[in-house]
Amino acid sequence: MSIDPLLQLLRRQARHSHQELAELLSLTEEEVRTRIAAWEKNGTILGYQAVVDAEQAGDNDVSAFIEVKLTPERGGGFDRLAMRIARFEQVVSCYLASGGYDLMVVVEGSDLREVARFVSEKLSTMDGVLSTATHFRLKTYKENGFVFEETAAPERLAVSP
């Protein structure tokens, strides 16, 4: 089953008006309004966010991607422990992943030390956490479908004798 076209449009650009969405999908404005309200009520749509270029906004926070290896719990697998980790205020995102680790956790802090403290004092000390590997975000090229384009530096003119 593929995702509803209205949800696809909202994921790409949630600022479309109900009228614009209706026109794009050949629906009535009331149909769009009703479907969105139902998705908000049943938890399909959890919220709306702006994708912000942190550099442009002057945001100096630090982001890290943390690979976490866990011991699965009997009868619960990874879910209970993953939800405990996800509830920390420093955690922005938490995903069950395939590969050499079990969770990919995205963490934000005001500086490297804050992220390091979170990993060493909170995350690594939890029962069931076997190991972590932290990777700091250095630069963002694309996030949630939006490409962060730099303005091109003017090209130098060729020097002729």
93-124 pLDDT, tens digit each: 999 999 999 999 999 999 999 999 999 999 99
Q: Which residues contact 61 (CB under 8 A, 6 or more apart)?
A: 54, 108, 109, 110
Domain residue spans of the chain: 5-42, 54-138
Residue 2 has pLDDT above 90, yes or no: no
CATH class (in words) of the domain with range 5-42: mainly alpha
pLDDT in tens, 133-150: 999 999 999 998 889 887
Contact between residue 25 and residue 18 where contact means Cβ atoms under 8 Å apart: no
- For the chain, the distance separating the N- and C-terminal CA atoms, rounded to the nearest angstrom, is 66
**Quick one: pLDDT at residue 84?**
95
| Half-sphere exposure (Cβ direction) of 96: Cα atoms closer than 13 Å | 9
Q: What is the CATH number of domain 54-138?
A: 3.30.70.920
Residue 160 has pLDDT above 70, yes or no: no
Q: What is the pTM of this model?
A: 0.81
